[in-house]
Structures are given as structure tokens and as C-alpha cells.
Amino acid sequence: MYDLSKGADWLNQWLLSWCAPWLTVVIECLLVGVVLLLAYAVLALFYIYFERKVCAAFQCRLGPNRVGPFGVLQSVADMFKILIKELISLNHIDKFLFALAPYLVIIASMLCFAVLPWGNGIQVIDFNIGIFFLLAVSSIGVLGILLAGWSSNNKFTLIGALRSGAQMVSYELSLGLSVITMVVFAGSMSITDICMAQKDTWFIFAGHIPAVIAFLIYIIAGTAETNRGPFDLPEAESELTAGYHTEYSGIHFGFFYLAEYLNLFIVAGVASLLFFGGWMPLHIPGWDAFNHVMDFIPSTLWFIFKAVALSFVIIWFKWTFPRLRIDQLLSLEWKYLLPINLANLVLMVIVVCYGLHF
């Protein structure tokens, strides 16, 4: 499989050949920022269209079908519409925190973007505690949600923010323990090492029962972390209008909307990294010809395909299960998922220590 880092090395050498080292670093940082922003925008537009089509299929409808072929330009039209919407100025709010909140949510998801393994050699940040960094920066988003609910000076937004805070803090435990379970199995927190450890067999197959349990809990907790149905209590339209972002309009509301879909991709991308090899192709030991054919598929396509497939499962949850009550939501975490996760972590340690895995 072609190592795409060679292209980055060539670009770095070419820039160094005609400009100073400090200017090379500045140009490279600007290029990385532009590419991440473009990927952010394109993925958000794709996911909005993708969920509308999936939702329509589940409900026996057509979904977007007027703007562009098969409605593919509907999301683009909606983007331009929200960009020209007026930012409504409200009285009796904390204006600074009200304006800051959506940017915190966006920054959290953008930092997570930087450590995702987009392909063989395509990763903005690659260091030996990549998983730890990912867990740390992903928790910043809840601060933006809490600030949005409190600074709006509205009882509905405050209730939505408190619900979201309780939900995200609770389910972060199960999410983190699922990740730690797979880190124990991989023996490293480096994202590159975790991908390379799955070159022969993906962890979902090599890790036996503990890996399957960790995956199921991760998907449930990841769905709750992104505030998506059936865990969408912070935005319960029938109760709270729109939850913590009720008072937002224009591009500020758009930031929350984009972050929700990009967090969906991040959760699915981390799941593909930990359980399905990240950008690593499907290899079956002993099937050399099959493995050779799989290596011809670009690594970036492998990662994006896995992330989109897992995103479909999370979207499937939303349009299949009814919304939980707040007591049911918290009971599921504290009474069931957390004890199972702790026992599963111990089981994984036993599997690793005694070499019971494939």
C-alpha cells in the first residue's frame, strides 16, 4: 500500500528549497488548516444529505429530490441560506459567552479531526499519546453546550444544557473505558501503532468477546455523546423547542448544526480506528491473493468507507428507537453500561496477559 507521507515530505523539501524554515512551517500550517476546513465543510454537507436520504428511506419517502440531480445540491442551498441569515441580537444575555459557545464546540471537533488517521501517512498530528489527546479535546465540546444554555438566559436552553452536561459527562465514562479496553489490547496509545497492529486481522475479530462487547458499548455511548436519537434529550423538540441552541440564529446556529454531524463522523472514525483497522485494508491470514487485491484500494477510501458505514448504523438508531426519558438514559449508563465496561476491561486484561487472542 502506497505511503502518502512521501508526498508531504516532497512538499516540505520543495518549500525548504526556496524559502526560510520558519516560512515553510507557516505555509504548511496554513495549507493543513485550509484542507481541514474544506474536509470539514464537505463532510458536513454530505452527512446532512446522507441522513435526509436515509431517514426518507426508513419512512418510505423520497427525501431531497429537487435541487440538483437526486437532490444532492439541497444541502449546498441550505448552507448559503443559513450564511445570509441575520444574527439576531438578544437582550438580557451574556453576550461574550453567548458568542463564544459555538466556537468552543467547533474547536473541539476540529482538534479531533487533526488526529484521525485519514490514510497511510495522512495525519496532521501523530504522537505516542494520540488516543489520550483525542479523549481530552473531545470533552471541550460540552463546555460550549453548557455556556450556550446558561448564557442564553432562557429556562428551556438551561434545561437542555443541564441535560446535555449530565448525559455527556456520564457517557464519557463508558466511551473512555471502551477506548481503554482496546488500548490495553493494542498495547499503545499511538494511533499509527494501533492501525499497524491490525495489518493482519482487525481488532474486532482478533480481540474475541471483549472486543465485541467494547464495540457495542462504544457505539451506544458514542451515540449518546453526540446527542443523537434516541439520546437527543438535550434537543427534545417536543419539550424544549430546540434545547440549548434555541436562541441562536444564522451562522451561530449553523456551527452547532455542523458540529453535531462532524461529531458523528468523529465517533464513527474512532470506532473504525479502534475496531476495524482505521485505514488498514481487510486482510485474511493465508489469503495472499485476496490481501494483495485489497491493498490496491487507497487507504483513504478504506477509512472513509468504514466511517460512513458506522455512521449509517448510528443514524439507523435515531430513526428506529423512540427517545428515552432522562431517568432511563442515566440508568442505562450507571446501572448497566458502566459495570459491564469495568468487567469487560478486566476480561481484556486477562485475555492479553494469558495470550488468549488470535
Residue 183 resides in a domain: yes
5-18 and 21-58 helices cross at what angle (nearest 10)? 150
- Percent of the chain at pLDDT > 90 equals 19
Residue 133 resides in a domain: yes
Its domain, for residue 135, covers 90-353
**Contact indicator for 124, 36 with CB cutoff of 8 Å:** yes
Q: Which cell is 54 given?
A: 436515509
Residue 143 resides in a domain: yes
Residue 345 resides in a domain: yes
- Is pLDDT above 80 for 5? no
- Please report, to the nearest 10 degrees, the dihedral formed by the alpha carbons of residues 231, 143, 137, 230 taken in order: 0
Could you give the C-alpha distances from 82 to 75, 106, 255, 271, in angstroms and in order? 11, 16, 10, 31
Distance CA 133, CA 116 (A): 11
Residue with the bigger pLDDT between 268 and 22: it is 268
Categorize the per-residue pLDDT at 268 as very low, low, confident or very high, splitting at 50, 70 and 90. Answer: very high
Among the listed residues 299, 298, 260, 304, the one whose alpha carbon sits nearest the alpha carbon of residue 279: 299
- Is pLDDT above 70 for 273? yes
Q: Which pLDDT score is estimated for 212?
A: 92
3-state secondary structure (DSSP) of residue 59: coil
Within 13 Å and on the Cβ side, how many CA atoms surround 246? Answer: 24
What residues contact residue 311 under an 8 Å CB cut-off, 6+ apart?
A: 47, 50, 264, 265, 268
pLDDT in tens, 201-226: 889 988 888 999 999 999 999 998 88
Residue 292 resides in a domain: yes
pLDDT in tens, 175-207: 999 999 999 998 888 888 898 888 888 899 888
Distance CA 297, CA 299 (A): 6
Residue 358 resides in a domain: no
Residues 142-149 have a mean pLDDT of: 86
- Percent of the chain at pLDDT > 70 equals 96
What residues contact residue 257 under an 8 Å CB cut-off, 6+ apart?
A: 82
3-state secondary structure (DSSP) of residue 94: coil
- Is pLDDT above 80 for 14? yes
- Is pLDDT above 70 for 242? no
Give the mean pLDDT of the chain: 85
Residues 118-141 have a mean pLDDT of: 84
Among the listed residues 298, 313, 198, the one whose alpha carbon sits nearest the alpha carbon of residue 265: 313
Number of domains in the chain: 1
Distance CA 140, CA 67 (A): 36
Distance CA 337, CA 224 (A): 12
Residues 123-130 have a mean pLDDT of: 82
Could you give the C-alpha distances from 7 to 11, 21, 177, 191, in angstroms and in order? 6, 18, 36, 20
**Contact indicator for 173, 333 with CB cutoff of 8 Å:** yes
Residues 96-118 have a mean pLDDT of: 87
3-state secondary structure (DSSP) of residue 122: strand
Categorize the per-residue pLDDT at 1 as very low, low, confident or very high, splitting at 50, 70 and 90. Answer: low
Distance CA 165, CA 241 (A): 18
- Is pLDDT above 90 for 9? no
Q: Which pTM was predicted?
A: 0.89
250-275 and 208-225 helices cross at what angle (nearest 10)? 180
Residue 74 resides in a domain: no
Q: Which cell is 177 given?
A: 473505558
Residue with the bigger pLDDT between 30 and 239: it is 30
pLDDT in tens, 294-345: 888 888 889 999 999 999 999 998 888 888 888 888 899 999 999 999 999 9
Residues 20-33 have a mean pLDDT of: 84
Categorize the per-residue pLDDT at 143 as very low, low, confident or very high, splitting at 50, 70 and 90. Answer: confident
Q: Which residues pair with 122 in a beta bridge?
A: 119
Residue 302 resides in a domain: yes
Residues 103-121 have a mean pLDDT of: 85
